[in-house]
Structure 1
Amino acid sequence: MNGFDNINALWLIGGLVLVLSALSARRLSFGFILRSLLSWALIILIAILAVANRNELAALWSQATERLGIQDQQVDGQIVRIRMGTDGHFWARVTINGIQRRMLIDSGATITAVSAETAQAADISVSAGIPVMIETANGTVAAQRGRIKRLSIGPLEAQDLGVVISESFGNLDVLGMNFLSRLHSWRVENNTLILEPTRGAPDHGKTERVPAPQRQP
């Protein structure tokens, strides 16, 4: 069992103990307490599984919304349109070296940044050397530099893209200006971010500009 599993187990045990203590204080029947414990254990287990498999669930959700015609990201020829999320930010469904991720589009970030988990899953090569210091909303963190072979949002694509990687980013992946500056243009209309490729770019070729929420990786 790894550290993550140990933490989940402790949360589960702690939650059950709290629930049991609360129910016992009310002097309820043993059967009612047992059913309540099982219900809470199931809820906690579902929550833990949802967090552990959040990326897979996000991919399934994207597929479902696309089939229902309510997707938040649409492709019109070579133009990509992304609707603003309920949190006021623009989130893109991105493919990094063949794997899908949900990334925050941030014009305030000078470089694309990914979590250690994403870097491992996408097999992103990490450069040897002294870590670089990155300014984030939560302070300064150390990060390693790396290169993404291929990153795409629908038909918009960049190859050999610089990236910074750190466990301090948690599960947040940020698409920075080093990708956005390769676009020909961007604009926001009716809470929709519109990304356009470089003029004359092939359907699956390299892309090359976007304002988005100001948030550091």
Structure 2
Amino acid sequence: MPLADLAPHLPLILLLAAIIVIGAFVRRIPIIGTLFSLAIWAALLAALVIVLGQRERFDPYIGRIAEALNIRDQKVVGAETRIRMSPDGHFWANVRFAGVERRMLIDSGATLTALSVDTAAAANLPVQDTLFPVLLRTANGTIRAQTSEVAELRIGNIVARDVPVVVSPAFGRSDILGMNFLSRLASWRVEGRTLILTPHHPQDTTS
């Protein structure tokens, strides 16, 4: 690997080198050495949880590992689906529709639910242009999008049917749940670092 490619990782490399050097001396001291080792293992475990939380959005195998370790950030409690805030400060939902499963960003600032071209293709959604172009304002300017519809969308104990969506290459790999989904719920709110979604008719999740 060229040295230039290592530049972004230089702080981490230096930190690991410092830990190794310090650990070589500290471990010789009975009590302090034990405490140092415990602290290192705790830091590694915390880093693992953060990495799994970030990577499971893109890798279904990582998602299964997170589920086995019981650190998934979405669960059904009574009539509510609760989603814990991710380390990146956003709320990500595990969504199933048309035979695919995706991690979708819940964005109350987005009017419409938006899908990437890859996700729309994986779900075999019929994407089409409307008579009048759909123009959306994004951080990168105004983009043109095509439209489609998801027959049935599931999140925890929530089922939403006939959900209109927009599709555009400008979304990259991002899939977003917007207000046209949230407005169908009986209520939604944020308590601390948890997003609470309450459907009108909670669905059985045991089957």
TM class, shorter-length:
0.5 to 0.7
Q: RMSD of the alignment, in Å?
A: 2.4
Shift of 1:137: 1.7
Instruction: Give the number of equivalent residue pairs.
Output: 155
SS of the aligned residue for 2:149 comes to: strand
Which of 153, 160, 163 aligns to 1:161? It is: 163
CA positional deviation for 1:96: 2.1
Structure 2, unaligned runs of 5 or more: 5-54
Which residue of structure 1 aligns with residue 108 of structure 2? 107
For the residues of structure 1 that align with 2:193 and 2:56, how far apart are their CA atoms?
25
Aligned equivalent of 1:50? none
Alpha-carbon distance in structure 1 between the residues aligned to 2:111 and 2:57: 28
- Is the 8 Å Cα contact of residues 56 and 63 (structure 2) preserved in structure 1? no
Structure-2 separation of matches of 1:168 and 1:129: 18
- Give how far 1:57 is off: 5.3
State the TM-score, normalized to the length of structure 2.
Answer: 0.68
Say whether residues 1:125 and 2:132 are aligned partners.
Answer: no
Q: Which residue type is aligned with residue 166 of structure 1?
A: S
Which amino acid in structure 2 is aligned with residue 88 of structure 1?
G
1:47 aligns to what?
Answer: none
Q: For residues 102 and 139 of structure 1, what CA distance do their matches in structure 2 show?
A: 25
The match for 2:78 is 77
SS of alignment partner, residue 60 of structure 1: helix
Matched residues in 1 for 2:123 and 2:97: separation? Answer: 6
SS in 2 for 1:125: coil
The residue type equivalent to 1:100 in the other structure is E
Cα distance change on mapping 1:139 and 1:128 into 2, 3 Å: closer
Counterpart in the other structure of 1:214: none
1:175-196 CA deviation, whole Å, 9 max, x = no partner?
Answer: 0000100111111112011111
Distance in 1 (alpha carbons) for counterparts of 2:109 and 2:57? 28
Structure 2 CA distance, aligned partners of 1:69 and 1:186? 24
Equivalent positions of 1:1-217 (< 5 A) are 18=2, 58-130=59-131, 131-198=133-200, 201=201, 203=203
User: Identical aligned pairs, as a percentage?
Assistant: 51
1:191 and 1:181 map into 2 onto residues whose CA distance is 21
CA displacement at 1:145 relative to structure 2 = 1.0
Query: What is the deviation of 1:56?
Result: 8.7
Question: How much does 1:65 deviate?
Answer: 1.6
Change (3 A) 1:112 1:195: same
Change (3 A) 1:182 1:204: farther
Q: Is the 8 A contact 1:78 1:156 kept in 2?
A: no
Equivalent-residue separation in structure 2 for 1:128 and 1:140 (angstroms): 16
1:72-126 residue CA offsets vs partner (Å, 9 max, x unmatched): 1111233111111111111111112121101110001111001101000011122
Q: 1:102 to 1:56 in 2, by over 3 A?
A: closer
